[in-house]
Structure 1
Amino acid sequence: MLVLASIILLYSCDKDYNAIGGDLIGDNHFDFSTYTSNVIAYNQKIGPVQSNDFAVNGLGIYTNPAFGTTTANFATQLSLGSVSPEIGNNAEIESVVLTVPYFTDATKTVTNTDGSHVYELDSIYGGSPAEIKLSVYESGYFMRDLDPAGGFQEAQRYYTNQNVNFDNAKVGNRLNDDVNVAQNDGFFFSVAEYVEKTTDATTKVETTTRTAPGMRLNLNKSFFDSKIIHAPAGKLATADVFKDYFRGLYFKVEKSGTSPGNLALLNFKLGKITIKYKEDLSTTVGTVVTVTRVDKSIVLNMAGNSVSLLEQTNTNALYANATTSPNTVDGDENLFLKGGEGSMAILDLFTTPGELTTLRSNGWLINEANLVFHIDADKMKDVSGVKVFEPNRIYLYDLTNNRPVVDYFNDATTGTNPKNGKLIYGGMINKETATNKGLTYKIRITNQIRNLIKNSDSTNVKLGLVVTEDISTVTSSYLKTPNTFSSRVPRASVMNPLGTILYGGKSTVPVDKRLKLEIFYTKPN
């Protein structure tokens, strides 16, 4: 029995051997044998794509010489912080302020001895600072929850190319009409914290409140007096009635003079409009009625349906040609990955006749398999003082079935936040220390290749490659017009405004830059 148990133990260890080293980070391959396989990779234009209800939305203008200019507008519904607010007599608005927080890099925040802070903004692309013309309008476009074309059984889809619909439906003059041009014609994403000082009426003690950087716009008081404070009877009674009565806000951006502009990613779901007003409060003691003025407020949250509205102009000719005329037979020399309604790459593995059959017959133990993508530094370099921002991460997925590859599912590693997880699966940019410019992206697909070689009934699927804003988001957005290969694209790719240019697997690409599948294996004894 002891001998039999030992044999079973040794057999179990041998079966599990091919997993050893499969989840290690690094390039030490323990003297494994190496096999490289050619990859056919080519470009695919995405075009208008579903963009409603994102976790983050772009706002502003960003020009990348390698791709062109992206203009990001935005529209959102509003909701009452509490329905049927009680508004007293002689109500008079004191201020209407729209606020949306910016993303900041917490690791670089400095707290001074006086309690003030110095922040560094995150997810801001373009010059620093660079102005844009920002106009906030009442939206007249009603955003339905459900699609009547589908019998009201599916959610209504809104697309990146619908800016003209919202622009034509805007109502009245812009609401951010403050005399301070930094809130409209010369708006910029300020890094300064907001400081507010208040004095207690009784104790006379002054309190200082500090708020991290964010958009802060004074809106037209007369409009909100009419729309909210003196709204027609019943218009603030329920959420549904209010959504139809006040259909939301439309954020429109344009160039400000000769400024190249900035584009920021914002979480508008954390945005709100705070209406502060005073009203009469009557108190009765015996026959004496006393009237005092009291402070009140109403909050409108940026909740409900929203949509990113994107416009691409001044498109680079090389980018346009590559994405409209891909070489699906030999592959493209360069792969153009662009977020928004940009472009992606499609990868075909094991395209040599009989290659996969031979690998399956070898009986190799697959220890690791990687795709390493080299960035075309010449095409991604800064041009005439214009800084080119590179996506921090790319995402490889099963295009045939529109789902993550098995290595994504098997990776339980986490980063500093969920969007930075999946560290073994990878896809993070590798930068040169001296220049801080990107060199490569590496994605590990060990289990994907292991399963394909081990199981003869496994399908050699097409793989899709896109930029991503959040590796934890793998749901899809629908293309307005499906292409030959797919009707959907990863949602997190549409959220990201950036792009990168990679070397493909075509034979004309220099060998040291050429895309290949690297497999590290051991031969069975």
Structure 2
Amino acid sequence: MHNNFFLKSTLVLSCIVLLCSCDKEYNGIGDELIGENHFDFNKYTSNVIAYNQKIDPIQSNGLEVNALGILDDAAFGTTTANFATQLVLPSVNPTIGANPEIESVVLTIPYFSTLKSTDTDGNNVYELDSIYGPSDAKIKLSVYESGYFMRDLDPVGGFQQAQKYFTDQNSDFNDRKVGNRLNDAADAIQNDAFFFDKAEYVESTTDADGKVTKTRKVPGMRLNLNKAFFKTKIIDAVASGKLATNDVFKDYFRGLYFKVEKSGSSPSNLAVLNFASGQITIKYKEDLSTTTSGVTTVSRVEKSILLNMSGNTVSLLDQSNVNTAYTNATNSPNVTLGDEKLYVKGGEGSMVILDLFSTAGELETIRNNGWLINEANLVFHVDASAMAGSYEPNRIYLYDLNNNRPVVDYFNDQTESLDTKKSKLIFDGVLNKATGANGRGLTYKIRITNQVRNLIRNADSTNVKLGVVVTEDINKMISYKLKTANAFTSQAPKASVMNPLGTILFGTNIPIGTANYDKRLKLEIYYTKPN
């Protein structure tokens, strides 16, 4: 009995010692489990200096998605998004038979959509995603042959660097467009009154026995292009070897230029599209000769040639009617005290620069106190009145501006999802909305616990400047070049160029006692004191 009691007592004492030892070191495994329940942690709010910075023309070639259309935004101004792409032959050097005659040339680009319901007859109802503007909006859409050759490599770099194209190059492509527009059908919805239609496309075919088969396709852009042009440009050019290789083909047919304009007095809208999933289908008939028992017969057979939109691409953006407050804030930032309002806009837009622990001696005081940092968040409040009526970006992204790379908390977050909008949810940056079907944005929160820990634990760690931008895809980490470097950086995250939206946030230079003082940007640190 005594030996058993001694063994139990020793075991209990060992557990107590182990727990006490563990309390001296922070257990990072539970970091993501803290959430909004901070138990008995102490809270410290550190002042931040945050100011605006304009992102002038920026590299915009090779984006995964591109904007097309016109977005009128009272908070920022008007964004006009044109687009250019090379065309690629998935099968080069096609063989064309005798007497070819084109039946149709159709350009298709699927929209981002979600299937909402299907009735008993198989008819599908879809909801479109990434369309910004009134649902009844129309734009004038013109698709031209491009005369601007997009090189793969930059000759200035000694053919060692990929060629870069920038958001402000619309005039280069517009001035070199060739001939008349190709989407010249009589139906105005194909051009002068184009709209992003959410209806599925249903195609019916009838076989020799009279059986009707319906083929259903998701909503998408579907334009009938000029048949005579493609007869000359594609079918008749096969014999001359212009379709022998894609290198030859891309020099011969330099691609398409998508130009958008206002459609009369109609309101406009803008879509984000995956152009790489688009293609042009040329359907034609040719003679097929067959010989049976010495008798030759000629019949007409249907064939097709595909052109993919997977070559070099560039997003061409123009800003007009720019909001005066936005212009003033981005042209004259207060880099010493910070700005009262922060403007974060994608495309050829703007970003925010942050300086943490700007109070003299603040970091040293925290180090001397020996705090154990449990969690640290940057909390941005949306200026709801300034953003009323504007579309809000779903996510913002914070990164190390000095080195143009993610912060350590980004890398530590291993949450993944097939839906890229749900990746890195611990790192966060997702818009927190008010409850209700049409709830507006309230805050964005970004967790930088390990970034703060490193600064406190390691006196030799560099307190880098941080950048904040909107993002279309949190998984895209690489940066794109600014055409002209500004005082703080020569590049910005690629994913911010892909997103056409912007948001207005409360900054840090808000006078005490004013209505929005409590909504100023904060660095909230939760900590435990040492024993």
**Fold equivalence (TM over 0.5):** yes
When normalised by structure 1's length, the TM-score is 0.96
1:446 equivalent to 2:455? Answer no
Structure 2 gaps of 5+ residues are 1-6
CA distance, structure 2, for counterparts of residue 333 and residue 129 of structure 1: 36
User: Per-residue deviation at 1:16?
Assistant: 4.2
% of aligned pairs identical?
69
Question: Is this contact kept in 2: 1:41–1:332, CA < 8 A?
Answer: yes
Q: Equivalent residue for 2:422?
A: 420
Q: Deviations over 1:444-493 (max 9, x none)?
A: 11111111111111110100001111111111110000011111100110
Question: Is this contact kept in 2: 1:39–1:517, CA < 8 A?
Answer: yes
Greater Cα shift, 279-288 or 464-473: 279-288
Q: Equivalent residue for 1:474?
A: 477
Within 5 Å, give how 1:350-369 maps onto structure 2.
Answer: 350-369=357-376
SS of the equivalent of 1:120 reads: strand
Out of 497, 502, 505, the position equivalent to 1:494 is 497
CA distance, structure 2, for counterparts of residue 94 and residue 15 of structure 1: 77
Out of 456, 459, 463, the position equivalent to 2:459 is 456
Greater Cα shift, 72-81 or 426-435: 426-435
Out of 498, 503, 506, the position equivalent to 1:503 is 506
Matched residue type, 2:490: S
Within 5 Å, give how 1:182-261 maps onto structure 2.
Answer: 182-201=189-208, 203-231=209-237, 233-261=240-268
1:17 equivalent to 2:26? Answer yes
Question: Is this contact kept in 2: 1:415–1:423, CA < 8 A?
Answer: no
CA distance, structure 1, for counterparts of residue 148 and residue 96 of structure 2: 28
Q: Deviations over 1:47-86 (max 9, x none)?
A: 1000001000000000110100000000000011200101
Out of 104, 107, 114, the position equivalent to 1:95 is 104
Within 5 Å, give how 1:46-57 maps onto structure 2.
Answer: 46-57=55-66
Q: Deviations over 1:362-410 (max 9, x none)?
A: 111100000110001111112xxxxx11000000111111111111100
Matched residue type, 1:195: V
CA distance, structure 1, for counterparts of residue 29 and residue 254 of structure 2: 57
CA distance, structure 1, for counterparts of residue 125 and residue 487 of structure 2: 50
SS of the equivalent of 1:80 reads: coil
Question: Is this contact kept in 2: 1:131–1:261, CA < 8 A?
Answer: yes
Q: Equivalent residue for 1:376?
A: 383
CA RMSD of aligned residues (A): 1.6
CA gap of 1:154–1:7, structure 2 versus 1, over 3 A, is farther
User: Per-residue deviation at 1:14?
Assistant: 3.1
Q: Equivalent residue for 1:290?
A: 297
Q: Equivalent residue for 1:145?
A: 152
Within 5 Å, give how 1:313-332 maps onto structure 2.
Answer: 313-332=320-339
CA distance, structure 1, for counterparts of residue 443 and residue 364 of structure 2: 31
User: Per-residue deviation at 1:204?
Assistant: 2.4
Greater Cα shift, 91-100 or 469-478: 469-478
CA distance, structure 2, for counterparts of residue 50 and residue 210 of structure 1: 38
CA distance, structure 2, for counterparts of residue 12 and residue 471 of structure 1: 38
Structure 1 gaps of 5+ residues are 383-387
Count, aligned residues: 517
Matched residue type, 1:188: F
SS of the equivalent of 2:250 reads: helix
Within 5 Å, give how 1:400-419 maps onto structure 2.
Answer: 400-415=402-417, 417-419=419-421
Out of 110, 113, 121, the position equivalent to 1:104 is 113
CA distance, structure 2, for counterparts of residue 105 and residue 326 of structure 1: 41
CA distance, structure 2, for counterparts of residue 294 and residue 215 of structure 1: 28
CA gap of 1:451–1:188, structure 2 versus 1, over 3 A, is same
SS of the equivalent of 1:310 reads: strand
Matched residue type, 1:85: P
Matched residue type, 1:457: D
SS of the equivalent of 1:250 reads: strand
CA distance, structure 2, for counterparts of residue 8 and residue 286 of structure 1: 99
Q: Deviations over 1:425-446 (max 9, x none)?
A: 1011111124511111111111
SS of the equivalent of 2:351 reads: strand
Greater Cα shift, 14-23 or 478-487: 14-23
Q: Equivalent residue for 1:429?
A: 431
CA distance, structure 1, for counterparts of residue 454 and residue 58 of structure 2: 33
Within 5 Å, give how 1:127-166 maps onto structure 2.
Answer: 127-166=134-173
Question: Is this contact kept in 1: 2:24–2:530, CA < 8 A?
Answer: no
Greater Cα shift, 435-444 or 21-30: 21-30
Q: Deviations over 1:259-306 (max 9, x none)?
A: 121100000000000000000001112421111100100000001100
CA distance, structure 2, for counterparts of residue 119 and residue 25 of structure 1: 38
Question: Is this contact kept in 2: 1:420–1:470, CA < 8 A?
Answer: no
1:60 equivalent to 2:66? Answer no
SS of the equivalent of 1:408 reads: helix
Question: Is this contact kept in 2: 1:41–1:505, CA < 8 A?
Answer: yes
1:344 equivalent to 2:351? Answer yes
Out of 57, 61, 72, the position equivalent to 2:81 is 72
CA gap of 1:8–1:25, structure 2 versus 1, over 3 A, is closer
Question: Is this contact kept in 2: 1:62–1:260, CA < 8 A?
Answer: no
Q: Equivalent residue for 1:385?
A: none
When normalised by structure 2's length, the TM-score is 0.95
User: Per-residue deviation at 1:170?
Assistant: 0.4
User: Per-residue deviation at 1:101?
Assistant: 0.3
1:113 equivalent to 2:120? Answer yes
CA distance, structure 1, for counterparts of residue 226 and residue 466 of structure 2: 51
